[in-house]
Each structure stands twice: as structure tokens, then as C-alpha cells.
Structure 1
Amino acid sequence: MSQEQSYTIEEVAQFLKVSKLTIYDLVKKGDLPVFRVGRQMRVDRADLQAYIQKRKTGSTPAAAQASIATPTKNHAKIIVSGQDLVLDILAKYIEKRRSSKVLRSHEGSFNGVMALYHGDCDIASLHMFDGDTGDYNTPYVKKIFVSHAFVLINVVSRKAGFYVQKGNPLEIRSFEDFQTKTFTFINREKGSGARTLLDEQLRIHGIAPSTIAGYAHEEMSHLDVASAVANGRADVGIGIEKIAKLIQVDFIPLVTERYDIVLLKTPENQPLIDMVKEILKTPDFQAEVAALGDYDVSLMGQVMYETL
């Protein structure tokens, strides 16, 4: 089947004039079938037409109702939001234990957490630095999930910093260089963990974003930022160490960030929480992640914050 006969989640959302989160919710409920091409979810054209036709007629034959009924909780699809490769490994381990599909949504930190808040995913990852406390993630989730029960669990710690061109010709070393040196920057989208780190550091150092050439130029992933630096579209970008090993750029480490996941605490969600905690403590899982390199697994599986 060619990709011309199928659509991305974004294309389906644009076609139906709804948000991507609405489409992810339909996928999660089993109302709209998907298949995967690499890390991307796609919707077959015939399945989309069938979904539209079913909604147009307002009736579904009994046999069709049975085939698309929401699965039981033990076999319901799980959606994991976040961009790090470690989440793909976690999804694989969950799939093995549940014998059911785990879907991946590659949202940045804030969008993923808001998807969880609205019930559009089951596990959201985040790496959001708070300049007032020097802490990662906890200050944000405590404010976002007010009056909601949740648990925040560490997955890995990793280095974040600047991508620079090979040899670091501009000798970029720190956030203070925004004040003393002239270069073209490339940014991440608003709400991403990397963007949060940058904006908080600029605030701490009293640097106005308007003084930074390229600040308004946004990319949607660490890989896109590193690629822009590698091909000369920018001198400096911000991201994580792992990606620098895949692209021809140098990496200037600035901070060690905590990469956590958050899950809502509900009676029906407790088996998933227990499973994730167990997986993260499994020696095989920790060894597989450590083998990737550039990850610190010493806090993996540790509860960083949990409501009663």
C-alpha cells in the first residue's frame, strides 16, 4: 500500500478541521485504525472514508459495532507522548507485557503534558527547567495538575546544551555568550523542554530574546535543530547530547537535565503505573538504555513526586 493512499495524523486533523489531539483520541479509543511507517502513524484512506461514512449515516450495523467496540482495559491502546528514543524502548516493553499496541505521539514536553491533562495520552514525558527553583519538572506538574492525582517518575538523566559547528569556530561556551558574541541561533518550539531551558536561562541572565538573531526561527525536534547547525543555516542551536552523535555537529554541555514521565493516578490506571515502575527497575531495560550511551540511569524508576 503506497503512502499516497494514506494520511498522517496532521493531515487527517487538517482534513476534518479538528486538532491532532482529537485524532489521537479517536485512535486511542479504537474508532480510527492506524498503521505505522517507522515512527510515524498513518491512517489508511479507506479507513478514514469508513469513519466519515459511519458518522454521516448515524448508524452502525451490530456486527460493525462489535468490531470497533472499545477494547477491555487490559487490551486498550496506550499512547506515550515524547520524542526520546528511550520511550520507544519503554513502549516495546509495555507491549510485550500487555500483548497490545502502544502508540507513540512525538509531542514536546508541554504539549504532551497537556495532552495527558485532557485525557489524550496515557504517559507524558517532560524535561522542563524551572529557573526559580533550579529543579526540573516537579514545579510545572504541581501547577498543571492542581486537584489531580499523579505520579512523576524518572526515566533518565541526560546532558543538554548547545549544538555548534564542527570545531566550535565561534568558541561558544555558555549562555553568557548571547551577550558578548554575534551568531545566528536556531530555536525549538514554544513549550518544548529545550525552549523552556533556554527561556529560563535568558531570564536568569537578563538577556532579551529580541537581541538574539534567529530566536524566532523554530524547529520541532532536536534532530531538526542539529541538522540546521550542521548545514550552516545557523551557528548555534539548543538540544540534547545524544542527537549530536548522529549529526555532524559538536556539542557543548551546559546542564544535566532530568527526563521524567508523568501518569495520572486513577484506580483503572494503577496497573499501568505498577507495570511502568516495574519495567524501569528491570535490569534488562536499564542495560538496554545504558547501552545507547549518553544516558544516566542511576535515578531510573525513582518516584520524583507523587500525590497522595
Structure 2
Amino acid sequence: MITLLSTKEAAKFLGVNEKMIYTLVSEKGLPATKITGKWLFPRHLIEQWLELNTINYPDPNSQLPKDQGLLIIAGSNDPLLEKAISLFNSIHSDYLAVFGNLGSMGGVKALLHNRCHMASSHLLQDDDTEYNFGFINSKPGKTPALINFCKREQGIVVKKGNPKKIFSFTDFAKTGVKIINRQMGTGTRLLLDKELQKKGISNGKIKGYENEVFKHLDVGLEVLAGRVDAGPCIKPIASLLNLEFVPIRWERYDLLITKENFFDRAVQLFKEMLNEKRFKDLVESIKGYDLSLSGKMLFPKE
């Protein structure tokens, strides 16, 4: 319901006398209506008018506020990252870490537009060995820093016993095989599409290719429920759900941080946590992770 203010109420709201209200209407464009015969002022329009006439209004593209107790991470999802965020929040009660599941590409884009403090990404470059650096299209001197979060095993989750004999991504095109896919913009989808392209396999030959989910866990649950035969996924999900796993490759899963936010207190606390025993203990019962590089700065190969 719209709140309408009288002239007296509008004057009180703006901290001016009633005569000034009429001046603001005629000279400064203060929103008002006289449809009932007397002046009325929609409160929400007055608030918008105040914002529009505010000098030094913060630029929405400016860097994120520092030291506000909020740590925003966006990009590729991962079960260990979710556990790490929960651990961080339990250790540092003065801070709040939150995650936006945008996929690797979405995370990099959000980072370069100053919408997050860190982006999680595992984008395989064309050389089939390096990750993430080639996808950072930033201005000179603005290249984000890369810190490794973990290495993890990427591959295919299948039903116990692998009844459809799926041993590679090319087997997705077999007759009688139905898959579930990850959404565009994820590192997992990029890996699948690169492998299919190398083998000359059209995605139109793969049943279920167009059916997408947004998390690795969702892929595993679709297989576990028997709705599909397989899907591209990481080994930790197979371990958690007691599914069979077909390994494809180990990959690097990194955190990208802009130079402007690198020394933000929350960012540094999260980075330091990656070197602590309590973080490494999170993977004790989960197969498919390698934390040997966790917390280390990374640089592009010459």
C-alpha cells in the first residue's frame, strides 16, 4: 500500500518548513499530486527523489566495502568449499562468509565487476594443463591473485557396478545411456564439451545432454535415484553417496582475488584458515581431494 504524506508530514520528513515544500515542488521536482484537491506526497517517491539528488552517491561498480564483516565468494560450487565456509563462520563470529553458486565463468565475471571478494574457479585452458589464468580478461595491472583451494578428481559418477559400462565421456553417446549435465559456464561443462569436441562427438547424440543441474551433488542424486545412468561430476560426491566413479583427470580448483580486496581482513583470515589442521581435517573421510597446494599463491607458467 502506498503511503501518502500531507504537506505538514512531508515537511517534517524532509526537515523543512511547509512553505519550502511548495518551492521544492515547483523548482526541484519534488514528487507530488493534487488529484484530491490538496497536495499529497507519495513517501516512496520522495525517498527516490532524495537518492537521485544525492551528491557523491556510491558508484555501484566501485570496489566492495572493506572491513564490514562480510566475505562474498562466488563461482563454482564444491562440497569442501561449503564446509570451509561453515568452518570460517564458526571460527570468526564477527564475520559472515556467503557463497553465490554462479559456476566458474559466473564467478570470474562477478569478481571482475567487483560483486564478490573471491571467485572459485576450475576452468581448463586450451593447453589442457593450466587453469583459470587464460580466462581473466582484466585491465593491465588488474590481474587477480590466484590461491589454490584444493585439487580434486573430476570424472563421471555411475550406478554401482557400472551396468552401462561407461568408462569415458564418449560413452555418453552409447545407445541406451541417459545422462544429466551441468549448466553452461561451469568448469565441469567446459571439460565435457572439450572432450566431446576432441573426439568429434555431437552433443545431439547424447540423451539427456540438454538436462542441466546446478550442483555436483544434484548430479549424484539424479544417478542415485536411478533417473539417469551417469553424469560429469567430482569424486567426492561419489564418495559421499556411495556411487561408482570413473576418473578422468585431477584438476585445480582455485580462489581468485582482486588486488583491491586481497588484504581485506576477512579474505586474509579465510586464506590463513586453508593452512590450518582443522581445515585439512574436513576431508579425512572424503575421497577425491588433494590439499597439498591449498593456501598457496599460484602464478602462470612461462
The two structures have a TM-score, normalised by structure 2, of 0.71
In 1, Cα distance between equivalents of 2:246 and 2:121: 21
Give the aligned partner of residue 37 of structure 1.
none
> Contact conserved, 1:241 with 1:294, CA < 8 A, in 2?
yes
Give the aligned partner of residue 107 of structure 2.
112
The two structures have a TM-score, normalised by structure 1, of 0.69
Give the aligned partner of residue 78 of structure 2.
84
In 2, Cα distance between equivalents of 1:55 and 1:300: 51
Give the aligned partner of residue 67 of structure 2.
74
In 2, Cα distance between equivalents of 1:248 and 1:287: 20
In 2, Cα distance between equivalents of 1:212 and 1:132: 26
> Contact conserved, 2:182 with 2:212, CA < 8 A, in 1?
yes
In 2, Cα distance between equivalents of 1:244 and 1:55: 54
Equivalent residue in structure 2 for 1:270, among 238, 245, 263 = 263
Deviations 1:12-66 (A, max 9, x none): xxxxxxxxxxxxxxxxxxxxxxxxxxxxxxxxxxxxxxxxx76763359xxxxxx
1:168 aligned onto 2:162: yes
Give the aligned partner of residue 98 of structure 2.
103
Instruction: In structure 2, give the amino acid aligned to 1:137.
Output: N
Instruction: In structure 1, give the amino acid aligned to 2:98.
Output: L
Instruction: In structure 1, give the amino acid aligned to 2:258.
Output: L
Equivalent residue in structure 2 for 1:123, among 118, 121, 139 = 118
**CA drift at 1:208:** 1.8
Equivalent residue in structure 2 for 1:195, among 189, 195, 199 = 189
Give the aligned partner of residue 283 of structure 1.
277
1:241 aligned onto 2:235: yes
Equivalent residue in structure 2 for 1:251, among 245, 252, 267 = 245
1:145 aligned onto 2:135: no
Secondary structure of 2:233's partner? Answer: strand
In 2, Cα distance between equivalents of 1:253 and 1:235: 16
> Contact conserved, 2:67 with 2:264, CA < 8 A, in 1?
no
Equivalent residue in structure 2 for 1:136, among 116, 131, 134 = 131
> Contact conserved, 2:122 with 2:253, CA < 8 A, in 1?
yes
In 1, Cα distance between equivalents of 2:112 and 2:73: 13
Cα RMSD after superposing both structures: 2.8
> Contact conserved, 1:186 with 1:234, CA < 8 A, in 2?
yes
In 1, Cα distance between equivalents of 2:161 and 2:283: 29
Secondary structure of 2:240's partner? Answer: coil
**CA drift at 1:210:** 1.9
Pick closer, same or farther for the CA change 1:56–1:211 going to 2, 3 Å.
farther
State which structure, 1 or 2, has the greater radius of gyration over its C-alpha atoms.
2
Pick closer, same or farther for the CA change 1:56–1:118 going to 2, 3 Å.
farther
Pick closer, same or farther for the CA change 1:79–1:206 going to 2, 3 Å.
same
The answer to which of 221-230 and 90-99 deviates more is: 90-99
Give the aligned partner of residue 48 of structure 1.
none
In 2, Cα distance between equivalents of 1:230 and 1:93: 28
Secondary structure of 1:176's partner? Answer: helix
Higher helix share: 1
- The aligned length equals 242
Instruction: In structure 2, give the amino acid aligned to 1:201.
Output: E
Pick closer, same or farther for the CA change 1:177–1:288 going to 2, 3 Å.
closer
In 2, Cα distance between equivalents of 1:254 and 1:207: 17
In 2, Cα distance between equivalents of 1:114 and 1:72: 18
The answer to which of 101-110 and 186-195 deviates more is: 101-110
Deviations 1:268-290 (A, max 9, x none): 54234543432222233223344
Deviations 1:129-162 (A, max 9, x none): 2243432222223xx3343231111111111111
In 1, Cα distance between equivalents of 2:100 and 2:204: 32
**CA drift at 1:229:** 1.9
Give the aligned partner of residue 290 of structure 2.
296
Instruction: In structure 2, give the amino acid aligned to 1:280.
Output: L
Gapped runs of 5+ residues in structure 1? 1-52, 61-70
Give the aligned partner of residue 57 of structure 1.
47
**CA drift at 1:107:** 2.2
> Contact conserved, 2:173 with 2:207, CA < 8 A, in 1?
no
Pick closer, same or farther for the CA change 1:184–1:288 going to 2, 3 Å.
closer
